[in-house]
Structure 1
């Protein structure tokens, strides 16, 4: 792409609004196709017109072509730096697979959130030392003032008649605004507040396993947010997303009990933070009885597993991302 000396008025996290030169120019869909051609992407199984239509209506350039980084480039010769046998049809296919991953794991993450709330409420209802109200009061008093204020402002705004409010949960909040019981509180707070409440309960009941589940649920929350916002997952299935994050012992117990040995492959794949979080979602889905409670999620995961195997067969072992997909398919198989 040609360099430009045009001066842009831009905004950035570091400098706010400022003047800057040397930025990439914004491209039309036609220009985006030309850019891809210059990088070695072919348009044989997907025509240029079809690609332009996809880039105009189906998804943004950044989204549709995000998986290009998973494909090899020529290391030398006249084609050095160009993609090896990458057609735009491959990018559309992987974009479709990414959507199926998000759909299945959104179902799973939402189920985990709902099952976790239900498990906590049931445990409180069966504990003669709890009445359902005091535990909410104690939780709110235990939080730092800034976070407690955030929860209170969020709930107040959502029930307020002076603003648009929350037409889905606002009436529940208003009905219990003077004395909030746990069954209403957990129904209307965010996933983040559920996590804080989960940690509070684990300490209140001195439950080490529940405390570990709280940290696993943080990964589930990240997956839920990613899937809800339509962020890409598949484009991170490579070594560049390796992490030093230490998984919970409960996760390793799940792997061992499901016959996934501590092999070189397992160790390699579990260095990838995206794989870790998808695994954490499956572990909590399984721990909370998901496969026996949610036929919709089970069907979505089963369909995804079949799609993953199809892609693995199509692209073969010469593409590094295939091994990640195969590992993910094996994890799903142990869940359903």
Structure 2
């Protein structure tokens, strides 16, 4: 029997071992049957189209992750089954989520680029900086393991092996013996840049840069999520409260933009995903302000409109709709 079958499985903590009671791997046809048993309809999206989507567009885990946002019947013969959920609704949210990732990836990349540019400009204008000593002092200030890991990463990327970096490897190699800040920030990771910002904030006594460093941690998380194609909308629900305390820069931005400290705002800002998306909008607005329209602004404006369309489509009976409305309002304030 399938329930008694044992699998050779790997786990993060336990490594490879034999385990029973695990979920079996299903074909797309079996996945459709499983969803039908849970009350998902295939009327607006037929079963053949759904099978094609599960075979070619996205995995079962990805496309169906949005189902938990929808209501289920409580009690009666349909207890636990979804209420008026069609597979087409899951595809719709998958498309909206992809648009959200495109817009916020563009914004997070803008933040990283503009923030690096500003730090380089700040260093060039500082009378005590020559562009080289600041990199040397930063590296010396880091934990030995972190410092060695950063150096090793750069060594591998400038090498001649298949692991070499085609795009920045030659730049690293050219400046490997004495790396100035304008090259260092061009080739290090976002995470290393954030550590560098914290170092500079202490070096220059810049409290605002220190706060921006903390806000940009959220931007980095959003950038990574969008780059890896992870779902975002499936976490826009109540019950995912975070005890993370956002920076005063974020609350100052909300006040400046006229977003009142209402019950709705407090409720939505307990969600960690909303927090990080907001942090991305705040930093984008801070760094991009006065630069005029951009491709990111266009993507964001389009996303805001489509979020409102989604709200009309799904109605207020589904809780995630209020999160879409809230995010759309924040986007409008930023762009």
Distance change in 2, residues 1:106/1:45 (3 Å): same
C-alpha distance in 2, partners of 1:303/1:290?
Answer: 19
C-alpha distance in 1, partners of 2:162/2:73?
Answer: 57
C-alpha distance in 1, partners of 2:103/2:292?
Answer: 15
- Deviations along 1:37-84, whole A, 9 cap, x unmatched? 000000000000000000000000010111000000001100000000
C-alpha distance in 1, partners of 2:231/2:240?
Answer: 13
C-alpha distance in 2, partners of 1:274/1:291?
Answer: 27
The corresponding residue for 2:274 is: 275
Q: Tell me by how many angstroms 1:186 deviates.
A: 0.2
- Deviations along 1:86-118, whole A, 9 cap, x unmatched? 000000000000000000000000000000100
Q: Tell me by how many angstroms 1:293 deviates.
A: 5.5
Whether the aligned pair in 2 keeps the contact of 1:217 and 1:281 (CA below 8 Å) is yes
Equivalent residues in 2 for 1:1-336, closer than 5 Å = 4-289=3-288, 292=291, 295-336=294-335
Q: Tell me by how many angstroms 1:290 deviates.
A: 5.3
Secondary structure of the residue aligned to 2:291 is helix
Whether the aligned pair in 2 keeps the contact of 1:112 and 1:290 (CA below 8 Å) is no
C-alpha distance in 2, partners of 1:82/1:250?
Answer: 44
C-alpha distance in 2, partners of 1:68/1:132?
Answer: 52
Give the TM-score, by structure 1 length.
0.98
- Deviations along 1:211-264, whole A, 9 cap, x unmatched? 111000000000000000000000000013210000001100000110100000
Unaligned runs of 5+ in 1: none
Secondary structure of the residue aligned to 2:239 is helix
CA RMSD in angstroms, aligned pairs only: 1.1
- Deviations along 1:172-192, whole A, 9 cap, x unmatched? 100101100000000000000
Whether the aligned pair in 1 keeps the contact of 2:39 and 2:85 (CA below 8 Å) is yes
Whether the aligned pair in 2 keeps the contact of 1:251 and 1:283 (CA below 8 Å) is yes
Whether the aligned pair in 2 keeps the contact of 1:285 and 1:291 (CA below 8 Å) is no
Deviates more, 1:310-319 or 1:66-75: 310-319
Distance change in 2, residues 1:18/1:185 (3 Å): same
Runs of 4+ deviating beyond 6 Å? none
Whether the aligned pair in 1 keeps the contact of 2:40 and 2:86 (CA below 8 Å) is yes
Unaligned runs of 5+ in 2: none
Secondary structure of the residue aligned to 1:240 is coil
Deviates more, 1:48-57 or 1:289-298: 289-298
Give the TM-score, by structure 2 length.
0.98
C-alpha distance in 2, partners of 1:163/1:82?
Answer: 51
C-alpha distance in 2, partners of 1:65/1:113?
Answer: 32
Whether the aligned pair in 1 keeps the contact of 2:238 and 2:319 (CA below 8 Å) is no
Secondary structure of the residue aligned to 2:177 is coil
